[in-house]
């Protein structure tokens, strides 16, 4: 038997590899129709943020369909329609997200990039190829707006809803001893913790214990024990839905049932039922209050009501606050492109976005900045809302509407008998 020498093997392997890679489908997927603009989005479809990505994708798809239904939009005398391309970052922006970023920005050449989490992870890439970036999720504090001047936030930031939560605890629920249990590794939770502390100091509420559990915790007993040691009269949970609900469930299972549990996660009844389990969820959620953006379900705007109905019919799921912002995203994009007079020039679209008005047909109830502009310093804002749970109907209902002016609660409206009206 003749042995094959290393050098021949090396060259053969090199040639084979080169050939394989060259033969790989290396032509990028060009826009098949010149009159179609791709809306490129990197969303967490799987991973620990997977309660957030899919509804955003679905709502964006609805917005795009509604725009295309009326024949698309016109820029520079040419009619365009939109198409959605969503890549999953698996809740892992630094590893999976950066590859998706290169695909959308460098290969698909999207004019504007829509992202959800991980804004900071893309900072170096923003600098290498700048383009306007619309974020429809990441309200982490410190704000992601200082990552890059091209970043816009299409939702209210953490300081716009966390202090109102503490205000409600103090003034409506009359609670003064709060225990904070946060997801230590999650920056969203850390931002909430910061603002809970600021608000508590402002309103004269005592934070009796702060406990943070590490990543991948599944048994919260020691953390619950540590938080309860200081005899709080209310519990504040930091984090997103998939972090908050298991803690709420284990609180209930440990016999802690009389204290109000507040959080800022945007839980829908569907998610509560799935994650906590039937029939337990109805009891667990009974003392829960959730403070974030307004829900489409509770809006008076007919367009928003229609969106709510359409969404529930189509996806058999309650839409969260995120879905309204996601639905509006293509409208914002179209507005910016129309104002810029181009669907390709990223810099012109960026400049147009800075001063654009609130676009027509949007449903989020945007509160405009001076001069009717959509963005206040690159942040578009809506009212905030606290929701409670109605055990008899196994659903949510708004208990508190508000808008933060610094640490001052304004435009507040406490709904006394939320479940009855609803």
Partner 1 sequence: MLIQAAVNGVVLGSLFALLAVGLTLTYGVMEVPNFAQAGVITLSAYAMLWLNQTAACPFWIAALGGLVVGGVVSVLTERIAYRFVRTRPLAAPVVALGLLLILDNTALILFGGDHVSLSPPYAGDVIYVGSASVPAVGVALIGTTAVALLALWLFLQRTKTGRAIRAVSQNAEAAAILGIRLERQYIVSFFISGILAGLVAFAYGPMYAVYPYMADAILLNAFVVVVLGGLGNVAGAAVCGLLLGLLESFGAIYVSAAYQNLFGFAVLLLMIVLRPAGLFTNRSRRVA
Partner 2 sequence: MTEIGMYGQQETRQRVRPRPAWDYLGIALLGFGLWVLLVESNSFYSSVLATILIWTIATSGLNIIAGLGGYPSLVQGAFYGIGAYGSALAMKWGQPFWAACIEAVLAAGILGLIVGLVFSRTRGQYFAIGTMFTGLVVSLVLSNWQSLTNGLLGINVEFGFGSINQLNVVIPAAAAFSLMLVRFVSRRRLGWRLLTILEDEDLAEHIGVPTARTKLTGFVLSACVGAVAGVLIAQYNGTISPDLFDYYVGFVMFVALSVGGAGRVLGPLLGSAFIVGTPDLLNLSSGIGLLLAGIIFVVVIIVIPGGFMSAIDAVMAAASRSVRR
CA angle 163, 164, 166 (to 5 degrees): 65
- CB-based burial, 369-403: b 16+ in 10 Å, e otherwise: beeebbbeebbbbbbbbbbbbbeeeebbbbbbbbb
Count the alpha carbons within 13 Å of 194 in the hemisphere toward its beta carbon: 13
Q: Is 46 in the site for partner 1 (CB under 8 A)?
A: yes
Stretch that binds partner 2, among 34-42, 149-157, 181-189, 278-286 (CB under 8 A): 181-189
33 Cβ neighbours under 8 A, 6+ residues apart: none
Phi-psi region of 72 (alpha: psi -120 to 50; beta: other; left: phi over 0): left
The residue within the footprint of partner 2, chosen from 61, 121, 156, 338 (CB under 8 A), is 121
Instruction: Write the interaction track for partner 1 spanning residues 90-109; mark x where CB under 8 A is met and - where it is not.
Output: --------------------
Number of residues that bind partner 1 (CB under 8 A): 37
Q: Which does 274 bind (CB under 5 to 8 A by kind): partner 1, partner 2, none?
A: partner 1
- Rounded least distance, CB 356 to partner 2, Å: 29
CA angle 272, 276, 281 (to 5 degrees): 70
Torsion 27-72-355-324 (CA) sign? negative
> Smaller CB distance to partner 1: residue 225 or 344?
225
Q: Which does 351 bind (CB under 5 to 8 A by kind): partner 2, partner 1, none?
A: none
- Rounded least distance, CB 122 to partner 2, Å: 7
To which H or E segment does residue 86 belong?
strand 78-88
Stretch that binds partner 2, among 88-96, 170-178, 330-338, 399-407 (CB under 8 A): 88-96
198 Cβ neighbours under 8 A, 6+ residues apart: 163, 407
> Smaller CB distance to partner 2: residue 14 or 341?
14
- Rounded least distance, CB 306 to partner 2, Å: 32
- Rounded least distance, CB 8 to partner 2, Å: 8
- Rounded least distance, CB 141 to partner 2, Å: 12
Cis bond before residue 279 (omega within 30° of 0): yes
Task: Report the C-alpha gap between 309 and 306 in whole angstroms.
Answer: 5
Q: Is 23 in the site for partner 2 (CB under 8 A)?
A: no
- Rounded least distance, CB 91 to partner 2, Å: 9
Q: Which does 230 bind (CB under 5 to 8 A by kind): partner 2, partner 1, none?
A: none
Tell me how far the alpha carbon of residue 299 is from its chain's centroid: 19
3-state secondary structure of 57: helix
List C-alpha distances in Å: 82 to 65, 119, 343, 370, 377: 8, 24, 11, 30, 27
Stretch that binds partner 1, among 261-269, 279-287, 316-324, 388-396 (CB under 8 A): 279-287
- Rounded least distance, CB 240 to partner 1, Å: 12
235 Cβ neighbours under 8 A, 6+ residues apart: 178, 179, 180, 181, 227, 251, 256, 259, 260, 261, 262
Q: Is 278 in the site for partner 1 (CB under 8 A)?
A: yes
Instruction: Write the interaction track for partner 2 spanning residues 26-65; mark x where CB under 8 A is met and - where it is not.
Output: x-x-----------------x-------------------
Binding residues for partner 1, rule: CB under 8 A, are: 46-47, 50-51, 184, 211-214, 216-219, 221-223, 225-226, 229, 242, 246, 249-250, 252-255, 274-281, 283-284
Binding residues for partner 2, rule: CB under 8 A, are: 1-15, 17-18, 21-22, 24, 26, 28, 46, 88, 90, 92-95, 98-99, 102-103, 106-107, 120-125, 127-128, 184-187, 190, 214-215
């Amino acid at each position: 038997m003749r042995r094959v020498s290393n050098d021949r093997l090396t060259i053969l392997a090199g040639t084979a590899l080169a050939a394989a890679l060259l033969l790989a489908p290396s032509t990028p997927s060009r826009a098949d129709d010149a009159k179609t603009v791709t809306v490129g989005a990197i969303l967490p479809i799987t991973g620990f943020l997977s309660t957030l990505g899919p509804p955003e994708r679905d709502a964006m798809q609805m917005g795009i369909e509604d725009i295309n239904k009326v024949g698309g939009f016109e820029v520079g005398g040419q009619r365009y329609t939109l198409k959605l391309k969503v890549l999953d970052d698996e809740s892992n922006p630094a590893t999976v997200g950066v590859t998706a970023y290169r695909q959308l920005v460098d290969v698909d050449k999207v004019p504007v990039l829509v992202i959800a989490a991980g804004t900071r992870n893309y900072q170096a890439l923003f600098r290498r190829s700048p383009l306007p970036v619309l974020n429809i999720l990441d309200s982490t504090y410190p704000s992601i707006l200082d990552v890059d001047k091209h970043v816009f936030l299409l939702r209210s930031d953490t300081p716009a809803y966390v202090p109102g939560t503490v205000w409600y605890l103090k003034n409506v629920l009359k609670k003064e001893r709060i225990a904070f249990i946060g997801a230590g590794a999650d920056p969203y939770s850390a931002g909430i913790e910061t603002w809970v502390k600021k608000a508590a100091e402002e309103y004269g509420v005592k934070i009796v214990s702060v406990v943070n559990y590490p990543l991948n915790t599944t048994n919260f007993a020691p953390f619950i024990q540590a938080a309860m040691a200081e005899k709080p009269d209310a519990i504040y949970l930091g984090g997103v839905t998939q972090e908050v609900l298991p803690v709420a469930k284990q609180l209930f299972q440990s016999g802690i049932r009389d204290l109000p549990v507040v959080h800022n996660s945007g839980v829908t009844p569907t998610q509560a039922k799935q994650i906590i389990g039937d029939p337990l969820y109805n009891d667990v959620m009974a003392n829960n209050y959730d403070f974030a953006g307004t829900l489409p379900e509770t809006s008076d705007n007919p367009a928003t009501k229609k969106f709510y109905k359409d969404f529930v019919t189509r996806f058999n799921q309650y839409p969260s606050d995120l879905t309204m912002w996601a639905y509006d995203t293509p409208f914002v994009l179209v507005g910016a492109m129309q104002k810029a007079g181009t669907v390709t020039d990223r810099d012109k679209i960026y400049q147009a976005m800075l001063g654009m008005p609130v676009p027509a047909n949007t449903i989020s109830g945007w509160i405009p900045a001076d001069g009717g502009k959509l963005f206040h310093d690159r942040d578009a804002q809506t009212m905030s809302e606290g929701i409670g749970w109605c055990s008899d109907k196994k659903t949510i209902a708004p208990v508190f509407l508000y808008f933060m002016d610094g640490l001052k609660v304004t435009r507040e409206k406490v709904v006394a008998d939320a479940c009855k009206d609803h």
